[in-house]
A and B are shown apart, each in its own frame.
Chain A
């Protein structure tokens, strides 16, 4: 018996394969021994192979191919694309995963919750756990997901050859930069790092370590528009660095001076939530009153109960007159005893102020008495663009009226790296020019575009031997740099954020970097180590974890172990702890005594501000944001010069005519937008447009108005007095989603009211007669001879509280992201073909000079008797048994009859295949399709589409209920617009379930339906706006 048979028999049985084997044939034994010939069974040694064997050749071929492949490997070529033959843990196609993270789209660093489907992020929402934004996000944050998939993101480092950029390798680029850094450090030349607001303590540590390694490093930090004036005024008055946060939710009276706190001034998401909570129609006692004094028309101004038109240079006078009224005339507060203050205020009075600015005295008196009535709950808030003296005066005013009670003491802002002053930058630029700067690093910044032209940044920068620009996209600065390094998107990055006391916010990647990009902190870390070899994918991740373990963990001393602490922090995305802000001292009266009235030159006041949608221009390449109607003007894809009607007449211009705006020797030609309600002889212009290197979408959109900035401030860095506006030849079409001329025609002016579109009243009216809206609408209630359909179990309804809605348009973007809405471009919006399912209607009433504004989010009303349904010849739009007006895209042939018959015009039609039409198919390019929500059909050309109350979410909820064997009540289902609304104005639910909030709101005394007399029986209830006047 052979060995093998023995082995077999040892197991108890003998298995034989052939008779030869059974009989132990010796020939078989020999054949077996030779089964694997020599050189085959031996260890594979290349050298031991004969000279030119087939195997040697193949082996060498395979090896060289493998080396070739691994030698130039990228993320793409690592072969990461593996189909889900076996599902990874926690990933189920169709079931989204959510990750808490932080948005770094602006300096406010809101907490986010990112929805991913099979590993790709498709939507960014606010993180409910985050104490600042509490589950909400601004339009920019919502839309920033498109940036991740932007086909024009930089994919690899670029080297400037002197005549164009060529792709470079990371090791080469980093090697060259490190060499330059070493040379600069040893040669005593400055290494300048230009950054925006530094929000991350870990990133700050990285930068500090970098500075330690290269001791000639200096940091410069800027933002296009900052609150430095407010903070410096605060420091003068109270001695601490940061202006406090404000308890907007406790305010009963708010006087906003040129302060757009609902949009651009501060964290709009938080401020809007707090403000909206004071506009609660269930609590009329604490119903706040908002007075806005401003020159332009801001979103906050549009929401004001009383709005005063005031040129920016008059703001100082206004505050002084109020102080005079309260301190001198009414002898309020301890300052009344101060003779110096009395004499300082002696030259102004509310009468003079009212007379000069054409404001009715009674309005001011009314305001003053309201302020006095709301003791300790009134706040005066000056906008961040106003000059320091106004802020100082406002600080005093708040002392007088008790506004200080609304300063938050539980939390304060934190600034890790103070902003550089214009003098700092002048110094840098002169050192650049004189060759004292060896390396300049643009740490995701774009100073060539942002800096006032009189700095001469670009000219200075090109003299620096090595300039490195880190960024996600090419920009105006990167094209002049010697190296461009691509960095990770937020959604591919690790970080921590701290811009408030007692609060850490964590950012975690939700997708592996799409390209060979690196996180900007990791790049700096690599430089600090001095060799590109030190870089690895998890470099910054480990650094962050280490810092958290060694510093944060030991600081906070939580009751869990470090690992547990880290993972729970990541899960929540946020860590809150007890950290009292620095207490501020008493008001320093001397600071006020130095306040002098500003000069009041003749001419125009030019007011510059960041764009609402694209910020300082960073979001210029985001089609969703470019196409978001500006909440005030409803213009898309442009900036323009807003002027008042009277000024337009004086200049002899109308909409779309060109004027040249001049400040000193700086000028820019801009098209005119005649904005109702603006102060005369004021031009308001948005910054951030007119980019020349922003990618295909963002380049040459609007006009570069940064050229109007100057390093020498006028009234302030952003407000210039003594400017000029001159009519020029030509015209330029500003495209808006709403026509703008119907306020000037008498027959159309009051239509929102005469047509039952807007119902509103005052708080007083509501107090006296809670049913006044119902009485108003009673005559509209039609009768019918038809039997109504009986709904059972579930009937969807929505309620929109117009008291809370500020028109911010966060819902619009959220809807677009959720429902795969295409970008159509300016030319298509011009012919009214924008695709947003939800729009914010804005109505002016009253006069052009002093209009009243009403907002109304308009989406499909899901009418019970929908006019669209009975006219569709092919039954492509039908009604569901739970009361939804549904749209069957596959069935639609595109007659557009449904839209013609829709009184709300909320249906949108695919006149083209917009993904292919827009900008030569820009959003049809790889990898943009990954942004699409897989639960929502991407609509083709020739199909009608509209809102269906996020039916995909309803279906998800229903499936879950069915799977769990529970009755489906619809509780907990949230639509995308509702999810986004910072003001919590939208409520959605099943109103047949009396436990849901919507059931109560359906019968709210303020509730009404738009165009009720048509008897379409909508399922969207609007709660009438109450004005507190």
Chain B
């Protein structure tokens, strides 16, 4: 059956196979590992040159910023934060889907996660790396960034634990560390496989070191799976905590539009929403380029679309709650922020955000849309746009119309703001491209466990199908 045919009939009463076509174990190995073993195609280099150019633009823009100061950006007083923190929150949000898929779905025994978990986890790592740049470069004096870390020093100076920015440092670095470990532990059996497959001595040495002497032994598998569960348990609260803490950057302040108790759950839902949007974008490309349609099936896309729809509704609820509470509180400040968002200088951004995050995802109620790869791809892109705008709107529209009308001022981004925005997307996709050519984009070992007829390895003690 050709995957291009759209008029397929789905029988939801039967669990569809997680891997289509009942491939042999060798075929799975081949289709996942081969791309890392062959010299990349011209298309790959074409793609890489695009992302590297974007990255270079960012490097140049950042170079100017570091040399002359962040005055190169459009930031001003009152709008002290703009693209910088927008990008930070956006990328942290993108980083949420990976851990959610690998940890929470794992604990909920959602076995369909297998096909997408590795790529999603890698995305998490890259996204958090991208995010991590911004707290550093947004500083007026980045060379003193160390002051924010509680290092005992002879001056007797300490950080201010009241400040959410200090909490951020810990939340984000913890999240990054745990995500990286989780990803790496998951990679070990596959790295061993790669080690065994490769003929290059150099690669063999690298894979040997990275696979930590994995022999696919039963005892190893038993320890491995325990560790995996433990890490999944550790990572799960982090999915909720990291974006809650990021949201405290805003919620702890007294600024109308920021000072809201709904922010932690709202930010977490938004993060998962945007994360799934980005996972969809990346996976739709990967499954097409690497011919992995039988592994990352339409059922996967369908399920991800459902999660996306759910989180879109949660975000929509938050969008409704904000004006309601602003009105209900009777605070003229809060209410004006709502009005300024919807009708002010940034109204277009606000309504595009509503369209992308609330209205367009409603299409996902339709099964046809969920299983139409092209439409889904467009929707996923729009979600990315919408969620980036959401952070921009929250940050900029709250700041540009704050308490005293005398200090109000419009914020306009400069080419350096856009340069860094382009650059960070360049960095992200460069990393994704490098990842796709050096490491297995789908977990081979796990995938074999969910092929038809395979006995699930890690599902010890749980129900059989």
Binding site for B on A (CB under 8 A): 738-739, 742, 747-748, 751-752, 754-755, 757, 828, 831-833, 839, 841-843, 856, 858, 867, 870-875, 891-897, 899-901, 903-905, 907-913, 917, 940-944, 1010-1011, 1014
Contact = CB atoms under 8 A, between A and B. Distances in A.
B222 interface: no
Nearest to A1014: B254
Given A742-B408, A871-B165, A875-B157, A942 B74 contact: no
Interface residues of B, number: 51
Contact of A867 (B75, B144, B169, B253): B253
B76 A742 contact: no
Given A875-B159, A891-B157, A896 B75 contact: yes
Contacts of B349: none
B147 A891 contact: yes
B289 interface: no
Interface string B395-406: 000010011111
B328 interface: no
B104 to A, nearest CB: 30
B417 to A, nearest CB: 12
A656 to B, nearest CB: 14
B394 interface: no
Nearest to A911: B71
B41 to A, nearest CB: 45
Contacts of B74: 831
Given A871-B253, A904-B403, A942 B164 contact: no
Contacts of B410: 739
Contacts of B403: 755, 757, 903-905, 1011, 1014
B291 interface: no
A897 B165 contact: yes
B77 A843 contact: no
Interface in B383-433: 399, 402-410, 412
A944 B141 CA distance: 10
Enumerate the 5 nearest inter-chain pairs by beta-carbon distance, A residue then B residue, closest first: A894-B140, A942-B140, A911-B71, A896-B80, A905-B407
A894 B162 contact: no
Interface of A is mostly: loop
A943 B166 CA distance: 18
**Listed residue (B68, B165, B332, B405) with the most chain A CB atoms within 10 angstroms of its CB:** B405
A912 B77 contact: no
Contact of A893 (B139, B255, B405): B139
B406 A892 contact: no
Given A873-B166, A874-B159, A903-B255, 10 more contacts: A738-B408, A831-B76, A856-B406, A875-B160, A892-B140, A897-B81, A900-B81, A901-B254, A910-B69, A942-B141
Interface string B225-262: 00000000000000000000000010011110000000
Contact of B145 (A839, A893, A896, A940): A893
Contact of B402 (A874, A891, A905, A944): A905
A923 to B, nearest CB: 16
Interface in B136-178: 138-142, 144-145, 147-148, 157-160, 162-166, 169
B163 A910 contact: no
B333 interface: yes
B77 A943 contact: no
Contact of B147 (A831, A874, A907): A874
Contacts of A895: 138-140, 165
A903 B254 contact: yes
Contacts of B399: 900
Nearest to B74: A831
A602 B314 CA distance: 65
A894 B139 CA distance: 5
B160 A874 contact: yes
A755 B159 contact: no
Contacts of A940: 141
Contacts of A901: 253-255
B71 A828 contact: yes
Contacts of B406: 738, 839, 841-843, 856, 858
B155 to A, nearest CB: 9
A828 to B, nearest CB: 7
B405 A871 contact: no
Contacts of A856: 406
Contact of B80 (A748, A839, A897): A897
B357 to A, nearest CB: 24
A870 B76 contact: no
A913 B249 CA distance: 28
B140 A871 contact: no
Contacts of B253: 867, 871, 897, 900-901
Nearest to A738: B406
Contacts of B139: 893-895, 942
A1010 B406 CA distance: 13
B157 to A, nearest CB: 7
A893 B148 contact: yes
20 contacts: A747-B339, A755-B332, A755-B405, A831-B74, A832-B77, A833-B77, A842-B406, A843-B405, A858-B404, A858-B406, A867-B253, A871-B252, A893-B139, A894-B70, A903-B402, A904-B403, A904-B404, A917-B71, A942-B139, A942-B140
A942 B71 CA distance: 9
A757 B75 CA distance: 26
B342 to A, nearest CB: 12
Nearest to B249: A897
Contacts of B267: none
Contact of B163 (A871, A913, A941): A871
A603 B78 CA distance: 42
A499 to B, nearest CB: 38
B165 A905 contact: no
A865 B345 CA distance: 32
Contacts of B255: 900-901, 903
A832 B147 contact: no
Given A875-B157, A893-B148, A841 B69 contact: no
A912 B76 contact: no
Contacts of A757: 403-405
Contacts of A747: 336, 339
A832 B78 contact: yes
Contacts of A867: 253-254
Contact of A873 (B71, B75, B159): B159
A381 to B, nearest CB: 31
Contacts of A892: 140-141
A895 B404 CA distance: 22
Contacts of A873: 147-148, 159-160, 163, 165-166, 169
Contacts of B166: 873
B254 to A, nearest CB: 5
Point out which of A747, A858, A900, A907 has the most chain B C-beta atoms below 10 A from its C-beta: A900
A219 B100 CA distance: 89
Contacts of B69: 910-913, 941-942
Nearest to A831: B76
Contacts of B159: 873-875
Contacts of A912: 68-69, 71
A893 B254 CA distance: 21
B157 A833 contact: no
B77 A910 contact: no
A402 B333 CA distance: 51
A1011 B331 CA distance: 12
B441 to A, nearest CB: 37
Nearest to B408: A739
A1022 to B, nearest CB: 13
A910 B336 contact: no
Given A894-B139, A903-B254, A942 B332 contact: no
Given A751-B405, A909-B77, A944 B333 contact: no
A941 B76 contact: no
A853 to B, nearest CB: 13
A870 B77 CA distance: 19
Nearest to A905: B407
